[in-house]
Structure 1
Amino acid sequence: MSAKLAVLAADETTQNPILPKTPDIIWSAVVLVIILAVFWKFVLPKMQAVMDERGDKIEGGIKRAEEAQAEAKAALEQYTAQLAEARIEAAKIRDDAHEQGRQILAEMKVKAQEESDRIVAAGHSQLVAQRQQIIAELRGDLGRTAVDLAERVIGESLSDDVKRTGSIDRFLDELDALGEPVAGKAGK
């Protein structure tokens, strides 16, 4: 065994301990080339595709975000324009409602005045009719009273209807003639 150790020790002395043996270097280089080829052929394209996809997603995300921001800005401007338009329309509707209210109020005032005038005219005509009725009743009562008084004063009966009617009419005409100047002075 010692001879073997001596041979090994002699081999070791000729080779540098830092450097690996030549067959190890060759086989390591072959394996490294195979690994590099597999890596270059299969892994690197997939990794490049993933990186490109990520880059596209990032760029697309930025682009989509910019587009979404532009759409949001356009929607905001459209909303603001619609809101301003709605405010103008609301103001117009409010003004129209005020104007219609004023027109309705004016029409109601006119109708109320017409109704008031109609009621006053009806009341006036009713008063005139009642006045005429009262005057007619008073004339009749006054005529009978006058005939009764005349019969008492004269002492004779005025039972003849023609005489009575003529006397009553004459008496009432005289009374009307006396009443007109008094009414004319009261009116002035």
Structure 2
Amino acid sequence: MGILIPGLAPTVVGVVTFAAVFICMTKVLLPRINKALDERKDAIEGQMEHAEQLRTEAGEVLAKYREELAEARHDAARLRQEALEEGTQLIAEIRTEGLREREAMIAEAQARLAADRVIAETELRGDIVALATELAGRVVGEALEDAAHSEIVDRFFSDLDARSAAGLQ
């Protein structure tokens, strides 16, 4: 027999040793290995179930969050719209108040101008009468300060006022 073909004794020893190792493996080690694999499989399946539950809960929380977010956006839009309407209303009220105050100021200013005009006319008429009387006195050569001349001047201004009132109408 050659180097590559073993004899009967080494073959029997190899087969017996192999059988002993095989029996030992199938009876002792394989059950322990199968038990560890089963435990690991159960643990993985449990983790997968737990992960599935967590994913379901996360989906529910996400849906609830999205719903609350949509509701918050709706409320924010409503609040913005209300604020816009309130602002528009306040601006309109302020404009109305401003216009009312402007009209009151204009009316007050016109009344003040009319009163100042009357005062100025009265003062100017007095000055004009004095100047006209003095000028007439210089032209005539004597003083014209009596009441008769004053009546002439008053009648002149009355005629002048009547003409201007008739011209305005």
Q: Normalized against structure 1, the TM-score is what?
A: 0.63
Are 1:139 and 1:172, in contact at CA under 8 Å, matched by a contact in 2? no
Is the 8 Å Cα contact of residues 151 and 157 (structure 1) preserved in structure 2? yes
Aligned to 1:138: 124
Tell me the residue number matched to 2:33: 47
> Of 66, 70, 86, which aligns to 1:100?
86
Residues 182/46 of structure 1: CA separation in 2 closer, same or farther (3 Å cut): farther
2:56 is aligned to 70
Quick one: which of 98, 107, 112 aligns to 1:112?
A: 98
Secondary structure in 1 aligned to 2:75? helix
Q: Partner letter of residue 112 of structure 1? A: G
**1:151–1:158 CA contact under 8 A, matched in 2:** yes
Extract unaligned runs of 5+ from structure 1.
1-19
1:81 correspondence with 2:67: yes
Q: Post-superposition shift, 1:88?
A: 0.8
Residue identity opposite 1:187 in structure 2: L
Residue 144 of structure 1 and its aligned partner are, at CA, apart by 0.6
In the alignment, is residue 181 of structure 1 matched against residue 167 of structure 2?
no
| Residues in 2 aligned to 1:44 and 1:172: alpha-carbon distance in whole angstroms | 145
Structure scoring higher RCO (CA < 8 A, sep ≥ 6) equals: 1
Q: Please give the per-residue CA displacement for 1:2-30, whole angstroms capped at 9, x wherever unaligned.
A: xxxxxxxxxxxxxxxxxx9xxx8xxx6xx
Q: Structure 1: how far apart are the matches of 2:167 and 2:84? A: 51
Report the Cα offset of residue 172 of structure 1: 5.0
Q: How far has the Cα of 1:48 moved from its partner?
A: 4.1
SS at match of 2:144: coil
* Structure 2: unaligned runs, 5 residues or longer: 1-7
